[in-house]
Amino acid sequence: MGRVLGVLRSFLSFVISSFFTNECLVCHIPFYEPDGVLPVSIREGWPEWTVIFFQNRFSFNMPGGLSLPGKVLCNDCWLKLQPVSDYTFLDDIPVIAPFRTNETLLKVIRYLKFSGGISVAKPLSWWMAKTLKDYVSPCDSALLVQKLIVPVPLHNSRRRERGYNQASLLASCVSAELGCRFSADLLVRVRNTKSQSSLDADGRRENVLKAFNVLEINEFYTKDIVLVDDLVTTGETVRECIRILKKKGFSNIIVLSAGKSLSAAD
Ligand SMILES: [Zn+2]
């Protein structure tokens, strides 16, 4: 019986793998490195867990014993991402991210939004989870488990159009990685706003003003929120989310994103 299940799992993993890309989504060169091979040189500034990522990144364990491929970038393109070692603050709220936003990360996020879904969310969220754990409690997982992971929501009409919310996908993968609770419904977008990318800081602030609300759900006893977005640029979207979360009594908030443009000097 166990052997039959094992064969079935391998077969399902193979079928799932066949839906995934076999070329790097940034440079479009077909993958040639055997799984688990380390890049020739990992520059200074990359955290210690970089080696673990390159040794294990090509598959991620899923519920039911399924294995999901997580190979989306070649070694060279992963190393074109820019690791972040500093913590920045938006007013008094920490904003943490594994990477600084650069051209390569923008390509990855574009793919996550419009084509890649979970095949990109899994490896990115692995980095986000490591960064969050390192910030909150590198040695004690008990502090992490108390946190509720909440994505920056899309408006329902936008989510229907795209099929999924990329921030929600990242948030659910981070929560699965760390064993924290996750809620896609606590924070809602009540107004369909324009894309922030074409607006300056003032325009961005105005665009998202009163765009969010918190649903009154009593089961969320924790006041510890990790607010997840794909990218934090000027921070106006998460600032507005934080404003409404604080108004509703959530006191302890951390912002976690895959990439950020803010730096300690901002
Ligand atoms: Zn590449």
Query: Half-sphere exposure (CA, 13 Å, Cβ side) for 96?
Result: 18
pLDDT of residue 16: 55
Map out the domains of the chain as residue ranges.
1-78, 81-266
Class of domain 81-266: alpha beta
Task: Report the separation in Å between the CA atom of 95 and the middle of ligand 1, taken as the mean of its atom positions.
Answer: 28
Task: Report the separation in Å between the CA atom of 88 and the middle of ligand 1, taken as the mean of its atom positions.
Answer: 29
Task: Report the separation in Å between the CA atom of 28 and the middle of ligand 1, taken as the mean of its atom positions.
Answer: 6
pLDDT of residue 216: 66
pLDDT of residue 217: 65
pLDDT of residue 192: 78
Determine how β-strand 212-214 pairs with β-strand 187-189. antiparallel
Residues 251, 165: Cα–Cα separation, whole Å: 25
pLDDT of residue 256: 97
What is the H or E stretch that residue 259 is in?
strand 252-260
Burial class (CB in 10 A: 0-12, 13-18, 19+), 16: middle
- Using a CB cutoff of 5 Å, list residues around ligand 1, an ion: 24, 26-27, 74, 77
pLDDT of residue 106: 95
Task: Report the separation in Å between the CA atom of 203 and the middle of ligand 1, taken as the mean of its atom positions.
Answer: 35
- Please compute Rg for the chain using Cα positions: 19
Q: pTM score, two decimals?
A: 0.85
Per-residue tens of pLDDT for the chain, all 266 residues: 667 776 666 665 555 544 556 788 899 988 877 766 777 778 888 998 888 888 876 566 666 666 666 678 888 899 999 999 888 999 899 999 999 999 999 999 998 888 767 788 888 999 999 999 999 887 777 788 889 999 999 887 877 777 788 999 999 999 998 989 999 888 988 877 777 777 777 787 777 777 888 886 666 667 789 999 999 998 889 999 999 999 988 889 999 999 999 765 54
Task: Report the separation in Å between the CA atom of 74 and the middle of ligand 1, taken as the mean of its atom positions.
Answer: 4
pLDDT of residue 258: 97
Task: Report the separation in Å between the CA atom of 37 and the middle of ligand 1, taken as the mean of its atom positions.
Answer: 15
Task: Report the separation in Å between the CA atom of 119 and the middle of ligand 1, taken as the mean of its atom positions.
Answer: 16
Residues 250, 223: Cα–Cα separation, whole Å: 5
Residues 67, 178: Cα–Cα separation, whole Å: 18
Task: Report the separation in Å between the CA atom of 97 and the middle of ligand 1, taken as the mean of its atom positions.
Answer: 22
Q: Are 121 and 173 in contact (CB under 8 A)?
A: yes
Query: Half-sphere exposure (CA, 13 Å, Cβ side) for 2?
Result: 0
